[in-house]
Amino acid sequence: MGSSDRLFNRQRTVHEVLGGGLVADVILWRRSKLTWGILVVTLAAWVVFEISGYTLLSLSSCVLLLLTTILFLWAKSAAILNRPSPPLPEMHISEDMMNDVAAFARTHINAVLLAFQNIALGKDTWMFFKVAISLLLISVVGSLTDFLTTGYTSLVVILTVPALYEKYEEHFDKFHLGQKCCVGIWRESSLFTEQLKKETCMYLRYVQMLISFGARLEL
∠ CA 135-17-113, rounded to 5°: 40
pLDDT of 100 strictly over 90: no
Residues of the chain above pLDDT 70, percent: 69
Cα–Cα distance for residue pair 148/216, rounded to 1 Å: 85
pLDDT at 35: 85
Q: How many CB atoms lie within 10 A of CB 28?
A: 20
**What mean pLDDT comes out for the span 155-162?**
83
Q: Assess contact for 40 and 206: CB atoms under 8 A.
A: no
How does DSSP classify residue 3?
G
Q: How confident is the model at residue 128 (pLDDT cuts 50, 70, 90)?
A: confident
pLDDT at 126: 86
Radius of gyration of the chain (CA): 32
Helices 147-167 & 169-218 angle (0-180, nearest 10): 80
pLDDT at 12: 67
* Residue spans per domain, the chain: 112-167, 170-219
